[in-house]
Structure 1
Amino acid sequence: MALQDNHDALLLDLDGTVWNGGVAIEHAVDAINGSGLAAMYVTNNASRSAGDVAQMLNAIGLNAAEQEVITSAQAALTMAESHLEHGDSVLVVGAASFKQLVSDAGYRVVASADDNPKVVLHGHNPETGWAQLSEAALAIQQGAIYLATNLDTTLPMERGFMVGNGSMVAAVTSATGVVPEAAGKPGPAMFLQAADRLGAKRPLAVGDRLDTDIAGGVAAGIPALHLLTGVSGPLALIEAPKEHRPTFIADDLRGLTQDAESLRPGTQGGFTARIDGDDIILGNGNDAATPTEALRTVLEVAWHMDTPPEYVRPNSEAAERATAQWW
């Protein structure tokens, strides 16, 4: 049975899963539209409003409404509300849309630590620099509560992996010693909220990053499909701790139409895998076997080891070809 036939909704990451820098990833749009499933877009990127994200999705051929987008900025504001009263000052390090979201909720958005903000909200904005980070650090040193939309260290873009919000947060943490609570993935809240909005009983979480997208799905108790289109590749999968392990692995979103069982870690493509000391020996393999089939074969063994293998050693021509394409 096709993977998509086992589920009633898709909870989709954006960057590295649906698009890179707003440019659709190959096969993504056709796969989502062709699935016939309700979709909710769950993104850690707080640099755009839900409405702006919906417009961008429509521009690449996906029919998405504002209420079908959940951003980490929305989640961070919800988290902040437990610390605030109406009219309190909030220092927002982030995009104009994030500041507007906070203002619309009834709080006074400030840009200086001298305004004694109760909370510092930190979201991704490509324009953030030393001055904004320094004001955040000063406010936190004066007692403001520090909350981040997400801790993603990188952001997949057309040219490669750019600096993400987590890297900016790390600068503030280095200056203050304060690690913020993060609202977005890998916490389960955004996934549970997304499933609730859709009334989904059998949702599927889909993403490209193990420590956020997949970990969030696992934390929420939702089956997760990992795509090899973005941040986390074969090595990360082989070394993944239990809480970061997806249910399914696919090259891209065309995996939705593939047999669900074939996407699980397990022996396939004629490959064999066995433990040899601290290593895994990958052998055999059909002439037409793919690198991803080899990966799933290795994962079944690797994920039963107490510690990740030191090396995966190919022991056939097919295994050599497959593993050469992992790196």
Structure 2
Amino acid sequence: MSVITEYDSLLLDLDGTVYEGGRALDHVISAINGSGLPVMYVTNNASRAPEVVATQLRDIGLESAQASDVMTSAQAACQMAAEKIPVGSKVYVLGTDSFRDLAHVAGFEVVASADDHPVAVLHGHNQETGWAQLSEAVLSINAGAQYFASNLDSTLPMERGRHIGNGSMVAAVVHATGVSPLSAGKPGPAMFHAAAKTLKSTRPLAVGDRLDTDIAGGNAAGMDTFQVLTGVSGYYDLVFAIPEERPTYVATSLQDFYSDAASLRPGVQGGFTALIDGSTLVISGGASTATPVEALRTALAVAWSSTQTVTDVRADSPAAATALQSWW
């Protein structure tokens, strides 16, 4: 039975899962359009308004995408702030114009300077953020403003590679103030619960490329999780993953929505075997037609069920050595 038949909705990450730098990743369009399931795009990227994201999705071939199908961490941050401070409060938004618009819609007075005495700072990704904007945030927080972050992703996958993410900018503010923000985005479960509620979904599948946000968040929300190897987290990240960041399924791309569900779970595959020798995970065997991800799922079944800590991986057969060369 294919994965897609076991769920009633898809909660999809965007960067590194659906697209990269605005380009649709391989198999994404056919996989989503052919699923027949309601979809919510749940993204930690707070730099774009839901309407802009929906337009981008339509432009790459996801023609049914609407703003109501998008939930950004900026929306979640405004909701979180509304639970902590009174409506009408002054806030300083360290982010894009769309984030400021969302804060205004949420009932806040958006100010431009720490001199306006904001009671909160809302911090989201903006490619134009620089020293001056960060300094206004620091001055506000040092004067007593509460600190909210849309997300804490350290990097953002783009076509040229991993760029600085919001979490890295947040780290500068934390270093200057000693104050850590409340984060509204993944890996917290709130966005996943809100997305499922919007879709009236009782059995959603959380899909993403990043273990410490997408998968950890879906797991925290009590959902099954589907990891694709098209973005930030790779083969070795999975082997060394802590329990909270281990996905239900390991897939090469969204095309695996249509693969047998059992084949995507960690387990012996492709003629490979694995064992732990000290702190080394040793992979052996392997059929001539075996794939690197089959070696991975075989390795994960052993690594994740062991009480020993794995710090290294070694190949003990030609097929295993070939597979490991593709893990980088």
Q: TM-score range by the shorter chain?
A: over 0.9
Q: Which amino acid aligns with 1:219?
A: A
- The corresponding residue for 1:134 is 135
TM-aligned CA deviation for residue 85 of structure 1:
2.3
Whether 2:265 is the aligned partner of 1:264: answer: yes
TM alignment of 1:11-160, pairs within 5 A: 11-62=11-62, 63-160=64-161
Give 3-state SS (helix, strand or coil) of 1:221's partner: coil
CA distance, structure 1, for counterparts of residue 157 and residue 217 of structure 2:
18
Whether 2:168 is the aligned partner of 1:167: answer: yes
CA contact (8 A) 1:238 1:308 kept: no
What whole-Å deviation, never above 9, does each CA across 1:130-179 have from its counterpart, x for those lacking one?
A: 00001000100000000000000000111110000000000000000111
TM-aligned CA deviation for residue 45 of structure 1:
0.3
TM-aligned CA deviation for residue 307 of structure 1:
4.4
TM-aligned CA deviation for residue 105 of structure 1:
2.2
Whether 2:294 is the aligned partner of 1:293: answer: yes
CA contact (8 A) 1:99 1:109 kept: yes
Whether 2:9 is the aligned partner of 1:9: answer: yes
The alignment of Structure 1 onto Structure 2 pairs a total of residues equal to 327
CA distance, structure 2, for counterparts of residue 82 and residue 281 of structure 1:
50
Report the TM-score when normalising by structure 2. 0.98
Q: Which amino acid aligns with 1:141?
A: N
TM-aligned CA deviation for residue 308 of structure 1:
3.4
Unaligned runs of 5+ in 2: none
Relative to structure 1, the CA distance from residue 37 to residue 121 in structure 2 (aligned partners, 3 Å threshold; closer, same or farther) is: same
- The corresponding residue for 1:212 is 213
Q: Which amino acid aligns with 2:38?
A: A
CA distance, structure 2, for counterparts of residue 103 and residue 274 of structure 1:
56
Whether 2:310 is the aligned partner of 1:312: answer: no
CA distance, structure 2, for counterparts of residue 307 and residue 222 of structure 1:
27
CA contact (8 A) 2:82 2:106 kept: no
TM-aligned CA deviation for residue 321 of structure 1:
0.3
Q: Which amino acid aligns with 1:6?
A: E
Unaligned runs of 5+ in 1: none
CA RMSD for the aligned pairs? Answer: 0.8
Report the TM-score when normalising by structure 1. 0.98
